[in-house]
Amino acid sequence: AVRRDRIARNSLFQTHTNGHRDMKCPEPPCFRIGVCRTCFEDNACCHCLGRIGFSFFEKYREPLMGFAAFLSFVAVIFQIIPVVSLSTDTQTMKNVAWVEGESPDYHFWIGLSGVVLEANANSSISRTAQWKDIDCERTYDDIVEVNSEDCNTCRRASLGSVVTVIMALITSIPQLTTDVQRSHPEGDLNCQKVFGVVTGILGFVTTLAAINTFVGDVGHCLLIAIPHFYPNVYSPFFFF
């Protein structure tokens, strides 16, 4: 077992048993409520998870958790970009489009909020439409042939990805704060370890769900909905 030097006693610190560690650490305000301490710190599940680890890495805690915090920070940045793509501003939609592609006559920028279309030969011919307002039978029928059934599939898939993208960002923030707090032994509580694991898994799952829905459903149906459509750029944040 790893035993840390005890920190001077004061009213802001409270002794907690963190798995195999016995040390003093800052008491979260919520722990002043007995049921919170019982449910989120002192229960058997949290103690069990708190014991998982290797004492060898204790001396490398700060650099390892610092590197984890750096990766989490980068992930937050890349999670912000998809949320920005919810903007309805034409230039923003083009800058952070999830898919950029073209057909023989038109260039497309496709994101979660909608579609921007410009003619290849004449960029003055431009049309921006939000998915929630797009009527697949009428919105583009005067300039490009669109399969309405597959267009509606794209529409539903895009709108369905909005919640997962927002959830991915929300879960990435506590993942970052947990990595920072756990970089010091005093902040490595059972609940923080559990919280970090849970938010990390949720963030991973929601991100993959959004990517799978958009690339799998939207990317596929666009190839069918728009004749001769070729997606030539997928946003790099897909990989984060």
Over its length of 240 residues, how does the chain's per-residue pLDDT go in tens digits?
333 333 333 333 344 444 434 444 556 666 666 676 677 677 777 777 777 777 777 788 888 888 988 998 998 888 888 888 888 888 888 888 887 777 777 788 888 888 888 877 666 677 788 878 877 777 666 666 666 677 777 777 777 788 888 888 888 888 888 888 877 777 677 777 777 788 888 888 887 877 777 766 665 555 545 555 555 555 544 434
Q: Sign (positive/negative) of CA torsion 80, 83, 84, 85? A: positive
Identify the pLDDT of residue 232. Answer: 57
- Cβ atoms 115, 222 nearer than 8 A: no
pTM for this predicted structure: 0.64
Give the C-alpha separation, 129 to 150, whole Å.
17
- The mean of the pLDDT values for the chain is 71
Beta-sheet strand order (sheet of 99-102): 126-130, 114-119, 106-110, 99-102, 230-234
- Cβ atoms 4, 21 nearer than 8 A: yes
Backbone angles phi, psi at 92, to 5 degrees: -65, -40
- Exposed / middle / buried, residue 100 (Cβ in 10 Å: 0-12, 13-18, 19+): middle
22-76: pLDDT as tens digits: 444 556 666 666 676 677 677 777 777 777 777 777 788 888 888 988 998 998 8
Give the C-alpha separation, 179 to 198, whole Å.
13
